[in-house]
Chains A and B, each alone.
Chain A
């Protein structure tokens, strides 16, 4: 498991949604917290 924690960025709009501040291209949220996301990096395709 490759779990990492990233700050939550965005303002919650379609154009700028809440999301983890990561440059990874393949990930899934494992846990959502008030100001951050724990995500699993699944790879880079």
Chain B
């Protein structure tokens, strides 16, 4: 009889001692890459989150924990298939110069949208099978470390420079394409901190 009571008390104490695990907000990170890995003149490897970088054009490499156009060819492109056409794509232009780009909705080397550093602006372009159209422009000086952020939400595309709005356009081209990445025309520029987040 006394043993039975003791077991009952222990059970009650056990139930009461459950620790509430604080809820953590769900992560919306799809792809994250700091490029903090060994130098390579021929490969980008995998993102920190595991996805494989695919070279669409040119030769890409890692140098001092950043990305560069190792082949020094024009229109070099590297992408990750994120699985998301609607998302936010961010990248840091660590060493900035003209013709470096954040690429989004890249179907192939001749079908994509991108934001490109021009001599005195950041411009949004569409390349539809070799037909190039400039869709927006934002004047700015280029500063190493410029952070470009592109919000892709259906046909609405909004771009920010260092957190400030550059432009918003309505563009249905390649609206369901899920490959996003980077582009460059020369080996001197450096990219860092590539991030894709769900909306």
Which residues of A are interface residues toward B (Cβ below 8 A)?
A: 10, 12-14, 17-19, 25-32, 42, 44-45
Contacts and interface: CB of A to CB of B under 8 A. Distances in A.
A26 B139 contact: yes
B136 interface: yes
A44 B120 CA distance: 13
Given A17-B125, A42-B167, A29 B131 contact: no
Which of A10, A29, A42 has the most CB atoms of chain B within a 10 A radius of its CB? A29
Given A17-B132, A28-B135, 7 more contacts: A10-B132, A14-B132, A17-B133, A25-B120, A30-B170, A32-B133, A44-B139
Interface string B155-183: 00000000000011110000000000000
Interface residues of B, number: 19
Contacts of A25: 120-121, 137, 139
Contact of B132 (A18, A29, A30): A18
3 smallest CB-CB distances across A and B, nearest first, come from A28-B167, A28-B136, A17-B132
B135 A12 contact: no
Interface of A is mostly: strand
Nearest to A39: B136
Interface string B50-89: 0000000000000000000000000000000000000000
A45 B195 CA distance: 29
Given A25-B121, A28-B169, A42-B167, A18 B140 contact: no
A14 B135 CA distance: 13
B168 A12 contact: no
A19 B134 contact: yes
Nearest to B141: A45
A12 B170 contact: no
A19 B135 CA distance: 7
A39 B140 CA distance: 19
A33 B60 CA distance: 38
A29 B135 contact: yes
B8 interface: no
Nearest to B128: A12
Contacts of A19: 133-134
B138 interface: yes
Interface string B96-135: 0000000000000000000000001100110000111111
